[in-house]
Structures are given as structure tokens and as C-alpha cells.
Amino acid sequence: MNALNRHFLLFALSASFIALLFPPLFTWVKPLIAPLLALIMFGMGTTISTGDFRDVWRKRKVVLLAAVAQYTIMPGLAVLIGKLLQLPEELMIGMVLVGSCPGGTASNVIVYLSKGNVPLSVTMTMVSTMLAPLLTPTIIYLLLQRSIDVSFSELFLSVFQLVMLPLLAGLLVRHFFAKQTARLETVLPSISVIAITLIIACVMALNAERVLAFPVAVMAAVVLHNLGGLAAGYAVATVARCDVIDRRTIAIEIGMQNSGLGVTLANQFFQPLAALPGALFSLWHNLSGIALARHWSRKATFVESEA
């Protein structure tokens, strides 16, 4: 299992490549994506305590700062990159849609694998999600002069079911069965590796036709958008004098968007081409996140000296 964790990136890339060539091998995972995410969040819950969330409350100003950064940096980067690369209108719309979305649940998984601050990541995801029904349509209207509707109840309920409920269940299990859950701590990261790899491969399989078309300009835009968000998030956290673990957590949270929501909004309100940036972002930000998780988890033992 340790070998699986060490070679996570290679494992995910190999599965993605196979999914690209033979999509039916992984499309069956689609109805299991939500349960797999819930399983990962449950596992996270067994590794943290209520005291960790009390620490997040003391950092509530950081959570607010991250939310502001999420809804300014990512939409701004989308417009800047789109103009620099001279993307067509529908692709520019797709970039802005992704940039205007809240943080995604995948960020919580990557923070966990990075040995980051999971309670802080979860809290930031919930806060940005609660703000999304107000801020996402507002930003899209200001930047694109287009009107859309985002359902607060559906969006919040979805994230609550995928993130908070299994996380709370894990917390309760750890509280009442501490000895038993302690034995699982060496196994849980490997379960998460397998689950997130299956999810990435499934996303790749479902979007194989789009990826094989290899739209170079859009792929470049998506990569720059994600990397720019990661770098900007780390910079903002550094200026705010956060410790190293929180800097990494905030960087991941800002750089990884709820691109699935972006795809949904594109299909609902715009032309099909507008969904392409969101689909590619879903693939790329997971792979870049895995690479970061692998790098930062190796350095975790040195975090205190760095801080």
C-alpha cells in the first residue's frame, strides 16, 4: 500500500491514459463518484477532531480572506488568460464560468493527501459554496453581461451531503471508537488514492472525445488558470502570515474549482462549447493537485521548521 501512495501520480496518469483509449473500462464509475467522495470524506473525518475545527474558528478571518480571493482572483485570471490567448467568445465564457465557481470537494481530498489542514479546507469549501448562489451569477453578469440562476438549496445540499455529513460521521466514529479507527490510519490514504484515481479516470473516460481533439489553446488556458490560482492562493496566504500548512491548504482551495458546476451552468445557459474549459479543468486540476500532494506530503515532516 505504501508503494501505491508513493506512486500515486504515475498510477493516476496510467489509469487516465487507459480511460482515454478505452472509455468503457471506467465509465461505469460515474454513478459511484458521489459515494466514493463520501467514503474519502468519512475517512478524513476519522483522522481529525472537534478541536481542529475550534482552531479553524480562531482563523475565521483567514477563511473570509480566502473566500474573497476565490471570487476575485479566479474570475480575474480567467478573463486575463482568455484575452491573452485570444479565445473565442464561447470558450471565454467557459473560462469565466469556471473562475466564478466555488471551491470543489476534490480540493478537500487533495489537502488530505497533502497532509494539509483538512478542517480549514472543508470550512472554506462550505463558505465559498454558500456564497456561490449570490456571487457566481453576479460575477458572470458583471464580466459577461449574461444572467444565470444558481440554486442555493441544491448546491448547498449537494456539498453538505458529499462533504459535511460523511465528515461528521467520521468524527463521531473516531470519538466513540478511537482505538479501532487508529488502526485504519495507515490504510485510509491508500483507499483515498484508489478512489480518487477511479474518479479521475472516469472523468477522463466521459470526456475522451473532447480530450482527444486536444484543443491546445483551451488546454493551455486551463493549465495557466489552475497554476495561477494555486500560486496566487499561496501568495495571499503568505502575505496574511499563515503557517506553511495553511498556505498550502489555501493555495489548493483557491486553485481547485467546482468545475462540475461550471460545466452544468455552461450546458444549461450557453452553447456546448462553453462546457469545454470546465471539462478540461476537471481533468487537469486533479492531476496537478495529485502532483502537489505528492510533493508536499513528502515535506510534511519539515513543516514545523519551515513555519
Give the domains, in start order, of the chain with CATH numbers. 2-299 (1.20.1530.20)
- Report the b/e string of 253-282 with b at 16+ CB within 10 A: bbbbbbbbbbbbbbeeebeebbbbbbbbbb
pLDDT for 142 = 86
DSSP 177: -
**Residue pLDDT, tens place only, 199-243:** 888 878 887 877 777 678 888 999 999 999 999 999 999 998 889
Cut 0.85: pTM above it: no
Looking at residue 251, its pLDDT comes to 94
CA 165 vs CA 172, 175, 289, 298: distances in Å? 11, 15, 24, 30
Q: Which residues of the chain have pLDDT under 70?
A: 1-7, 150-152, 155, 185-186, 214, 299-307
> What whole-number distance in Å separates Cα of residue 67 and Cα of residue 124?
7
CA torsion 68-248-167-8 (nearest 10°) is 130
pLDDT at 164: 76
DSSP 257: B
